Amino acid sequence: MNDIKIATEDYVEGLSLGEPASVLVDGKDINGVVTEFNMVPPEPPEPDIVPPGDYLCSGIEVTKGTIVSGTHENLHVTDQNYLAIQSAPTGNYQYVDFETHFNLPNGKVDKLTLQFSGKYSALRGQTLYAFNWVTGKWSQSLKYASIGKAGLYFSVSLNPAVYLDAENRVKIRIYVYSSAAFAGYYDLLRLKVG
């Protein structure tokens, strides 16, 4: 016979129905055949968690404007090695409009922050958007800022339930327009988890 100690009368680990057993329940010996017991299922495993840290963009797509120098890799660290984009005309206005993408590892994300640093050849109003995967549209402006030659650094919190898709992707958009030509110099676009 199997000798087993159990914590409660409802859970018997290591026994099968019909198996002879000598079991201690609350310090009392119960002999006989196991005819029925309720198995308490184990707790479900915790979901994988995306490790805290900085996550870098994996590419950019320029919709309006022309890349003068640099690549998406210039957005990885603040080092004054810029991704430079010259505005392009459409109608009576000049535009810079581009998207960048982030691919996070699979897992749960509790806190998500976007960091930005950049400047413009002249004072311009920049709008930052994030793609809302729930509505399937670009968010209302997450951050509007007037940025000039001195540049600006800021960070903005993103709601992971809205701005992360099922594959842990994030899409960010920078949009600027003006009646006069200008250039944008982008030094940092980075996601911070945790």
Q: Which of 96, 92, 113 is nearest to 104 (CA)?
A: 113
In this prediction, residue 8 carries a pLDDT of 44
Q: Where, residue-wise, is CATH 2.60.120.260 in the chain?
A: 53-193
Mean pLDDT in residue range 114-138:
97
Confidence of residue 34 (pLDDT cuts 50, 70, 90): very low
Task: Report d(CA 194, CA 187) in Å as an integer.
Answer: 22
- Rounded mean pLDDT, 158-179: 97
Residue 142 and residue 128: Cα distance in Å, rounded?
6
Domain 53-193: top CATH class: mainly beta
Whole-number pLDDT of residue 32: 53
Q: What is the mean pLDDT of residues 83-101?
A: 98
Lowest mean pLDDT among 20-24, 83-87, 114-118: 20-24
pLDDT at 28: 52
The burial class, CB within 10 Å (0-12 / 13-18 / 19+), for 170 is: buried
- 27 vs 80, higher pLDDT: 80
Q: How confident is the model at residue 87 (pLDDT cuts 50, 70, 90)?
A: very high
Instruction: Report which of residues 36 and 191 the model is more confident about.
Output: 191
Question: Per-residue pLDDT for 149 more than 70?
Answer: yes
Tell whether the model's pLDDT for residue 155 goes beyond 80. yes
Mean pLDDT for the stretch of residues 27-43: 56
| Position 21 pLDDT exceeds 90 | no
pLDDT at position 140? 83
Q: Using an 8 Å Cβ cutoff, are 124 and 85 in contact?
A: no
Between 52 and 45, name the one with better pLDDT.
Answer: 52
Please tell me which residue, 167 or 40, carries the higher pLDDT value. 167
pLDDT value at 88 more than 60: yes
pLDDT higher for 82 or 19? 82
Q: How far apart are CA 182 and CA 175, in angstroms?
A: 13
